[in-house]
Amino acid sequence: MLYIDTSVLLVYTLTQSAEKSRYPDTEKFFANIRAGSLSGATSFYALHEVYVFALDNAPDFPTGAAFGKAALEKILTLPLHILPFLARSERARHARKFTALRDSSDLPHAITARVYGCEVIVAYDDHFKAISDLIPYKSPGDYA
């Protein structure tokens, strides 16, 4: 099972026009997910980040809420496992393993992927390479 990071979900849903070079590989990656040739998962952390991104980049709340909802609906139609938030104690127990991550906002993603047995983190955030000894990092293009 592949853990799909927010950076990939954003290209798939909200930033297609700004990420023109990344979108074709991302679309092919999700076509493989839809076809069942790849097994994917994401988390409530990623879903929340997608929604907040829509709110933060909209001119007003109603517009952001509408775009955020549409993005979540598009994601939730995919045959993905949706992984839950981790208990605080679970995050604390595993956090020491991931001190090499430079961006603390990626910590819940890495821990969730590890706890739920994901083989790879699929992302456009290459700083996940810093923990590749614990969980490998790939981009959607590696599967397209």
Q: Which residues contact 139 (CB under 8 A, 6 or more apart)?
A: 25, 122, 123, 124, 126
Q: Has this prediction a pTM greater than 0.75?
A: yes
* pLDDT at residue number 97: 86
* pLDDT (tens digit per residue) in 89-129: 888 888 888 888 888 889 999 999 999 999 999 999 888 99
* pLDDT at residue number 91: 85
* pLDDT at residue number 98: 86
For residue 81, give both structure tokens. Answer: 């496992």
Tell me the domains of the chain and their CATH numbers.
2-142 (3.40.50.1010)
